[in-house]
Each structure stands twice: as structure tokens, then as C-alpha cells.
Amino acid sequence: GEEYEALLSIPLGEATPGEALNVEIVLEHENLGARFTTPLAVVPARQQGTVYVVTGNRYHTGAAEDQAAEMERAIAQVRRNCLVAEQDERYGFDLGDAYTWRTALVAQPELRDDVRRLVGMLRCGGHPGYGTPDERIVCGEVLVRNLAYGVQAQDELLGDPGGCYFAWNVPGICPQTPEILAEAGLMGLVGNVPVRGKPSLFRHQAPSGARVLHRHKRGMEGPGSLAALREAVSEQSREVMTEGLGSDILVVESATVPPEPFYLGACGSLRQASPSIVVSGTGGHEFMREALDRAGAEGGVTLATTARVMHTHRLGELVSQPEVKIAYGAVEHLVLDAERWATFAALLGAQYPESALDLCWRQLLFTGRPDCLGFAATPEVYVDTLAALHEAATVARHVGDEAAAYIAGQADTASGAPPRLDPHDAEALVVFNPSSWMRTDVCEARVAFPRGAAGITVFDDGGRPVAFGPLMVEKLNTRMVFACIRFVARDVPALGYRTYYVQRSGKTAQMEPRAGAQIENEYFLVLADPLTGALAKLVDKDSGVECGVGPLNDVLALDEDAARTAGGRDLWTTGAMTRPDGGPAKVTVVQTEWMQELESTIPFLGGEVVRTLTLYAGVRRVDCSVRLEGVDVEDR
């Protein structure tokens, strides 16, 4: 009652391709026998060579998972693959991205020796990337860290840094990726980004001129049997094999939880097929090495070079779930700043918070994937992504605050205090400039007064009063115990600091309202349209040039075509457009000696659009914000 599959070699003699032959087959087993005749179609002889099948890792679960579920599945998957590899000495498997197999090997140290042995035998391999970030959205530092973490993990835990990057099931490839891969010592990448007109094998060039080999493949779900595997190998490798390459690669997306049972005991016979089918996790590395050898040999394969954009155009993914993308960008900056301050503090003697920053980067690399950052398909993944970003932000903010406090503690703020200032009645406020140029810019500072304060006055290091504005004040009875203030810090040295002093007395200047819809400082003149509230004019006062004629910060709503948006992944509209109500807008202008602010409010779709424009004295910049309050954005 059991079903078996056998691979037979049938001599064709002088038969030509396209001819039909009748073949008689006799089956005998103990005292049983069967005889039947079947027609066979003669097909052209297959190309000789080797096709590396990369399997054992990619499996569509049907629904996106949170971190805990994904890690549990990864551990079980590595264990199953090791069991099959133990039974079949020709079977090899792909470990996948480092964040999965690294967790498995750390959680199950008894597997580490088995995996390292298989890696040394060129049967098992991982990807030289910690994850697969959404290269349309993440910053360049995340791309670099992704490779740095992945290559280090492979070298440390597997003993092999790898040579082939997999850009698989990603919506795009960053133009600088070839340069980053080349700098990391990788030979090339295998990807399946669906870009029309892309060659099957080419040299992918970055804007800098750096190039790596790029094998473009089509995704394939399955196969479900050895026959389907051989058919897929024949179909997908025909193009490059006929071009003169002696090898190719087939990336398998398993239809069931890998490893598929049909591999067990069959990998030896697959190697005897034509072309030879090698089931190996190092297939990407082996293919790249052989392809580069053929391309570099005299009279070898000629490969095209292209630097075209490798992105799919799913605009819905770029604008949907904006809070996740905004949070991710904010955490990127927090982690980079914290790392910078921690480095400066370590140079002054502080202990570098390696574990804390390592956690932050791993959370960024994990949540930077297309199925988290690009578009979280389930509420569980959405919440898990925000939770991971919140953890990274909390840790990074703590690291940055501790490092800045340590550096500030090394500054001699007492001897540089103005003579007129009582050191027992003031707090030193150290403003750092991490840039490589002198800066004048807006600062926000949190100041605590354990003994309470009757008021606040800010002085610079020359004893001159500095205008400021309170953003938030906490009082106990009638005395201030905490305040968050904003002021302009002027001429802070590059990679240096300047000290300000907060005195526990004085009065805060109040914002004064005035009429009109115009604000200006020494650099810009800004005019709002009193009817719509949008920016109507922006003039550079130095040159007299109008930088733009409005409306520059207008707001409109487009109705989505819900039937075509693929659950939010695509962006299609019906063409219907809604602008804010006809107005007039409510426009208010307030000012102090150091800033001017214009705010306009206008009704819009059941709520309000609030636009704020701010100019600071001495700062060559216009700060602009647009808020939607109570606006109905459903299907828009």
C-alpha cells in the first residue's frame, strides 16, 4: 500500500527530440510481477552542470508571527534539519538570517557543534545578514549594522563569514547595497525583487561604481515531490546554463514545515542527475564563486552591468501605518545619538554600555523587516513591533542621558561661572554640540530644583541674560520643583560644549499676541494665507528671493479605492478630493524677543487642521508642523 518513486535512466539510441517512444516496463517483487507499456516523449538533453538547491529555512506560516513564536519555530526547525542531515549524509540546509539561527544555537548549545561540523563540510550555511531590512525605509547605518552583526555571528558561531547575500521577498534593494556588500567582502546577492526587464544574471553597480554579482530568481513555492523538484531545476536553470555557466542556484520556499520528507535518502541520487542537484545551505556561496570564475576567465561569460532602481512601487506600504515608521525613524536617531555620547563618555573613563546598545540595535534590525516596518499584516505583529521599538527607545534614552550626565560632570562649570552669579543659587546647564561645525540652534532642557525655586533666569557663560520659554513647569505648593525650558544656544563649538546657568529666581517673559498673518526673523519672512491657513509666501531676506509661492503646506484628502488597495499595501484612489473648508482660517501670532510663532486652524472632515510655523532669532530655519485633530481619515 506504500507509494515509491524511482529515478530510471532509459537509453534513447538514435531517437530525436520530439519523437514519441513506447517503453515496456517490468516490475518484479518477490513472487509478484507487473508489466505495462507507456509512451515517453523525447526531450532535448539537459545541460550538464550543477544546480545548488537552498532549502530548509523558508516557510510561509500563513500569518506573520511575533518574536517569541518565530524564535520557537526557528529552534525547532534547526533541530529537525540536523536530524535529517544526520540520517542523509548528502542533505544540507539553509540556516537563514542570523537573528533566527543565532537564537537557536544560543538557546540550544548542544546543536552548535553539529551545525559547525555541517558548515565545515559545506552542507550547512547561513546568511551574512542579521535580518532582511526594508531597504526602502531604513537608514544606511541600519544596512551596515545588519551586515556587521550577521557576518560577526557567522564567523563567531559558525566559523564561516559567508559570501552570498539573500535579498529574498523584499520590496526593494537600496542603490548603495552593492557597495556595502563589496565593502563587507561578499561576492554577490541572490534576489527575487519583481522588477521588469532585469537580466537573470548581471553585475549590480552602486553609485560609487562598486559592483557585485546579482542572480535574479523567481520565487517558487514547494516542491512537493522529487519529480517537481527536478522539473523546477530544469525550468529555472535553463537560461543561465545555456549562457555558458556551469552552475545555478534554486531557492526553495517550502510548502510544508521544512525539511520535506522526500529529501531523506534521495539526496545522493539527486547528485547523480543531469544536471547534478546538490541540496546544500552553502549553495549561494558556491554558485557565486563558480560564476565569478567563469566570468573572469578568458573567453568566459560576458555579463551586463546595471545600476537601475531595484524597487517595487507599492506606495501603500510606504504611507500606511505611519506611526510605526515615525517611531522607527525616531528610535534610529535615539540609538545613534546614545551610541555617540556613550563613546565620548568612554573616552573620558566611563564604562561603555555594550549590552544595552547591542539590545537596541538588535531590536532595530528585527523590526526593520518588510513584514514589520513596511506593513505589519496582523495586530499581533503591529503591537510586537511597537513594543520592541519602545524598549529600544527607553534603553537608548537612558544610555544617552547617563552618558551626557557623565560628560557634563567632567566639565568645570564652577570656575567659568559669571562673577555676579551665586553658585549656591544656580544650576549649571551644559549644552553639547556633536556636530563637526559650530552651531546656533534651539535647545530643550529639563531642569530640576530639589529645594524649589521662586522663578527662573538663564545666563550664558558671560553673565548675559538669555531669553527662554517654559514648555512645562511643576510646582510644589508655590515653588517650582521641575521645569522644561526652550532657548537658543549660540555659537556652541564643534564637538564641544557651552555652559549656561539657571538661577532660581526671576520672571519668565510671556508670549505676546499680535495681529496679522506674518512672522519674520533676520533670515526669513513668512506669510500665511488668512483664508486657507496654508503657507502663502516664504522670502529669503538676504537675497530677496521668494523660496516658494503657496500654498506650500496645503492639506487635502484623497478617497481610497478600497477594492484595489490589497488591504493597505497598494495606494489607489477614486479620484475624489477633499480640501479644508472654505475658511477663513483662525490665525494667531505670538512673539517674544527670541521667537515668533504663527498658528492657523481651519475645519476639515469633522475635525481641524492646525498648522504651526516658528522662527527663532539667530536660527536660519523655518520650523513647520501640521496636526490633524479629530479628522475622519477612514478610507482616505
Residue range 550-582, pLDDT digits in tens: 668 888 888 888 888 777 777 888 888 888 877
Give the residue from 508, 510, 501 showing the smallest Cα distance to 447: 501
Residue range 302-312, pLDDT digits in tens: 889 999 888 88
DSSP 360-392: HHHHHHHHTSIIIII---SHHHHHHHHHHHHHH
Residue 299 confidence (pLDDT): 66
Residue 566 confidence (pLDDT): 73
Residue 298 confidence (pLDDT): 65
Residue 240 confidence (pLDDT): 73
- At 613, which CATH number? 2.70.98.30
Please report, for residues 276, 315, 379, 569, 574, the alpha-carbon distance to residue 564 in angstroms, rounded to integers and kept in the order given. Answer: 44, 12, 21, 9, 10
Q: What percent of the chain clears pLDDT 70, i.e. is strictly above it? A: 94
Residue 200, burial from CB neighbour count under 10 angstroms (0-12, 13-18, 19+): middle
179 found inside a domain: yes
456 found inside a domain: yes
The total domain count for the chain is 4
Side-chain-facing half-sphere of 274: CA atoms under 13 Å: 7
607 found inside a domain: yes
Indicate whether 268 and 389 sit together in one domain: no
Side-chain-facing half-sphere of 113: CA atoms under 13 Å: 1
Taking residues 127-146, report their average pLDDT: 92
Residue with the bigger pLDDT between 59 and 80: it is 80
β-bridge pairing 586-591 and 512-514: antiparallel
Indicate whether 180 and 109 sit together in one domain: yes
Residue where one domain finishes, among candidates 467, 484, 509 = 509
Residue with the bigger pLDDT between 555 and 70: it is 555
Checking if the pLDDT of 57 tops 80, the result is no
439 found inside a domain: yes
Indicate whether 389 and 463 sit together in one domain: no
- At 357, which CATH number? 1.20.1270.50
Give the residue from 14, 36, 33 showing the smallest Cα distance to 23: 36
Per the listing, cell 518513486 goes with 5
Per the listing, cell 501640521 goes with 626
101 found inside a domain: yes
Q: What percent of the chain clears pLDDT 90, i.e. is strictly above it? A: 38
Residue 46 confidence (pLDDT): 57
In angstroms, the CA 109 to CA 554 distance is: 58
Residue with the bigger pLDDT between 541 and 235: it is 541
Residue 509 confidence (pLDDT): 76
Checking if the pLDDT of 340 tops 60, the result is yes
Indicate whether 379 and 246 sit together in one domain: no
- At 108, which CATH number? 3.20.110.10
Indicate whether 120 and 202 sit together in one domain: yes
Q: Mean pLDDT check: name the lowest of 86-90, 418-422, 533-537.
A: 418-422
Checking if the pLDDT of 99 tops 60, the result is yes
Taking residues 50-74, report their average pLDDT: 74
Taking residues 589-603, report their average pLDDT: 92
Checking if the pLDDT of 64 tops 60, the result is no
Give the residue from 118, 117, 139, 143 showing the smallest Cα distance to 129: 143
In angstroms, the CA 500 to CA 417 distance is: 9
Backbone angles phi, psi at 121, to 5 degrees: -90, 5
Residue range 511-524, pLDDT digits in tens: 888 888 999 999 99
Checking if the pLDDT of 377 tops 70, the result is yes
Q: Are 234 and 49 in contact (CB under 8 A)?
A: no
In angstroms, the CA 201 to CA 213 distance is: 7
268 found inside a domain: yes
Residue range 381-396, pLDDT digits in tens: 899 999 999 999 999 9
Residue where one domain finishes, among candidates 383, 410, 437 = 410
| CA torsion, ordered 571, 58, 77, 377, to nearest 10 deg | 10
Checking if the pLDDT of 65 tops 70, the result is no
For 119-131, letters b (16+ CB in 10 Å) and e give beebbbbbbbbbb
> What is the average pLDDT score of the chain?
87
Residue 335 confidence (pLDDT): 97
In angstroms, the CA 601 to CA 581 distance is: 11
Q: Residue 526: which domain range?
A: 513-629
Alpha helices by DSSP H, listed for 297-378, are: 315-319, 322-347, 354-367
Residue range 2-19, pLDDT digits in tens: 666 666 667 766 666 667
Residue where one domain finishes, among candidates 486, 509, 532 = 509
Give the residue from 198, 266, 239 showing the smallest Cα distance to 53: 266
Alpha helices by DSSP H, listed for 272-321, are: 283-296, 315-319
Residue range 423-448, pLDDT digits in tens: 677 888 999 998 899 999 999 998 88
Please report, for residues 114, 423, 426, 431, the alpha-carbon distance to residue 413 in angstroms, rounded to integers and kept in the order given. Answer: 59, 10, 11, 12
In angstroms, the CA 233 to CA 173 distance is: 26
Residue 188 confidence (pLDDT): 94
Indicate whether 200 and 66 sit together in one domain: yes
18 found inside a domain: no
Residue range 208-220, pLDDT digits in tens: 999 999 999 877 7
Residue range 177-186, pLDDT digits in tens: 999 999 999 9
The CB density around residue 108, as the number of other CB atoms within 10 Å, is 16
The CB density around residue 562, as the number of other CB atoms within 10 Å, is 11
Indicate whether 200 and 292 sit together in one domain: yes
- At 454, which CATH number? 2.60.40.1180
Indicate whether 468 and 429 sit together in one domain: yes
Give the residue from 108, 117, 120 showing the smallest Cα distance to 77: 108
Indicate whether 183 and 271 sit together in one domain: yes
Indicate whether 495 and 529 sit together in one domain: no
Residue 617 confidence (pLDDT): 92
Look at phi and psi of residue 575 and say left if phi exceeds 0, alpha if psi is from -120 to 50, else beta: left
Indicate whether 538 and 609 sit together in one domain: yes
Residue 484 confidence (pLDDT): 92
Alpha helices by DSSP H, listed for 243-321, are: 267-271, 283-296, 315-319
Beta strands in 130-200 (DSSP E): 164-167, 172-173, 188-191
Residue 368 confidence (pLDDT): 93
Q: Mean pLDDT check: name the lowest of 65-69, 210-214, 330-334, 533-537.
A: 65-69
Single-letter residue type at 590: V
636 found inside a domain: no
Residue 76 confidence (pLDDT): 85
Indicate whether 173 and 121 sit together in one domain: yes
Per the listing, cell 530644583 goes with 449
Checking if the pLDDT of 155 tops 90, the result is no
